[in-house]
Structure 1
């Protein structure tokens, strides 16, 4: 009887511990057909940039990369939580991982509470986080902002990053990321993001700098009128001592399950490409459900024409 009571107590204690922890499997499946002229010069499994009409997966003209991820969180008590995220990209051309680093999309550990969250590892850059507050396509692969100015030159992810995200104060939050000198090619990097997202308004400022490099920045805002939304931004990215600077203006209209977006950029300075370009993306999406939609997009990028048609399912 005593042994049975002990076993029951262990089971109850284990159940309580499990109730405080959770692990979630999630992912995206995205594939389609199209042609990518930008960056062409031969078949590349990573971006399908062959300048021929072909199957598209994990490419510039997919809405997003297919992926499989696992994330977990444990309640440590007193408002303190610990968690992790591991995420890999998948190429539906052949089922291969999209990078030699298997968890290339995310590999991090975090600790959080009422004071905010501190994350260590491969994670989103704060400039990317700030840009998502106002970018119209939902940070799609074919976003004209990301393809022209690269999320304020920071890209979407950093390796070996220490990142702090503040609590949300009525829609306002701040983020700071830092990479040590030894972890970034002997040049330390900092990345600051400020974001306001409340009701119809979304505003984001991303500023980042690598030691001895130029300061990159992007300031943008979006206002949602209900069925319509407008967004604008000003951006600067750099490559060494060369800079690319310009602005964007775009609009979005929703008609029940159908959404159409037009977003344009115009260079005011382009030392990197040596020529000022007007770029743009035209996107149409039709929601089949809350988790699945079909899309078609045309991207004009630095004189090249790219298009894609596909379907995306989130799970």
Structure 2
């Protein structure tokens, strides 16, 4: 009888512990057909042929599978992790953003009412500072993302330590830092300030590598209900060469259908020597809350690119 009571007590305690933690499997499947004349910042090569596309410039997003978990440590403190791997639906191979199997995310965090501290490979503050106002949800074919590369930083950092503040009525900030030995002997800092409350979304992204130029992006959007307008000004650099300009665009929503037009214009472009006006037209139709079809045309630095596909989130 005593052994039975002890066993029940152990099982009860175990069940309580399990109830305080959770692990979630999630992912994205995105594939279609398209033609790509331009390479992309992510390293996708141009083919100039209409073909099956997965993980390309003209997909809405990269297919991926990930696992994330969180444990309630008590007293308002939580611990969590996120591992995420890319998938190429063309052949089933790993599509690593950075070369590793968990190339999209590999990080650990602690959080509470004081904010969140994170360590590892993760989407960086400049990325979040851009997506606070960008119209496509940071699609692969985002004209702002491709022209100014998320304030010149790209979407992810390796070996990053970061702290994000709590939300103060829609206002938050995050700062990330990479130590010198983890970034080719050149320390890097990356930060954002975001305001998201009601119809307004705005974000400032700033980052700098030691001895490099300061990259930045400042943008905002306003939601009128069925119509959203957005504008921004950004500077991205590669070494001592800078690309600088503004964006202006809008999204109109008609039930399950949404149409986006977004334009960028260079005011300075030392990377190519020519100033470009780039543009994106995107159409999406929601089949459900997690699945939509899309078509997009991207005019990028004198190249024409298009894609038609289906995206399913799970």
Superposed pair shares fold, TM > 0.5 = yes
Trace 1:274-285 onto structure 2 (pairs within 5 A). 274-285=273-284
Identify the residue that residue 126 of structure 1 maps to in structure 2.
125
Conservation of the 8 A alpha-carbon contact between 1:46 and 1:59? no
| Alignment check: 8 A CA contact 1:47 1:57 kept | no
Q: Deviations over 1:238-260 (max 9, x none)?
A: 11111100000001100000000
Partner in structure 2 of residue 8 of structure 1: 8
Maintained 8 Å contact 2:38/2:45? no
2:262 counterpart of 1:263? yes
- 1:46 CA displacement: 6.9
Pairing 1:281-296 to 2, within 5 Å after superposition: 281-296=280-295
Q: Does 1:63 align with 2:60?
A: yes
Counterpart check, 1:303 vs 2:302: yes
CA drift at 1:222: 0.1
Aligned to 1:33: 33
Residue correspondences, number: 311
SS at match of 2:16: helix
Where in structure 2 are the equivalents of 1:157-306 lying within 5 Å? 157-306=156-305
Separation (CA, whole Å) in 2 of partners of 1:47 and 1:158: 19
Any idea what the Cα deviations from partners look like across 1:35-54, whole Å, max 9, x if unmatched? 000029xxxx9736311000
* TM-score, length basis structure 2: 0.98
Q: How does 1:142-161 map to 2 (within 5 A)?
A: 142-161=141-160
Match of 2:86 among 64, 85, 89: 89
Q: CA deviation at 1:34?
A: 0.4
Please report the RMSD computed on the Cα atoms of aligned residues, expressed in angstroms: 1.1
Alpha-carbon distance between aligned partners in 1 of 2:201 and 2:123, rounded to the nearest angstrom: 19
Q: Distance in 1 between matches of 2:188 and 2:28?
A: 31
Task: Report Cα offsets for 1:7-49 as digits up to 9, x if no partner.
Answer: 0000000000000000000000000000000029xxxx97363
Match for residue 105 of structure 1?
104
Paired with 2:46 and 2:65, the residues of 1 have a C-alpha distance of 23
Counterpart contact for 1:219–1:234, Cα < 8 Å: yes
Question: How far apart in 1 are the matches of 2:62 and 2:276?
Answer: 27
How much does 1:273 deviate? 1.0
Q: What CA distance in whole angstroms lies between the structure 2 residues aligned with 1:275 and 1:291?
A: 40
Q: Secondary structure at the match of 1:289?
A: coil
1 CA distance for matches of 2:238 and 2:155?
A: 16
Q: Deviations over 1:82-110 (max 9, x none)?
A: 00000000000000001240000000000
**8 Å CA contact 1:181, 1:187 repeated in 2:** yes
| Secondary structure of the corresponding residue to residue 151 of structure 1 | helix
Q: Tell me if the contact between 2:39 and 2:45 (Cα under 8 Å) persists in the aligned partners.
A: no
Task: State the 4+ residue runs in structure 1 displaced beyond 6 angstroms.
Answer: none
2:138 corresponds to 1:139: yes
Query: Which residue does the alignment assign to 2:69?
Result: 72
- CA displacement at 1:192 relative to structure 2: 1.1
Which sections of structure 2, spanning at least 5 residues, go unmatched?
none
Q: Distance in 2 between matches of 1:259 and 1:147?
A: 21
2:92 partner SS: coil
Name the SS of the counterpart of 2:150 in structure 1: coil
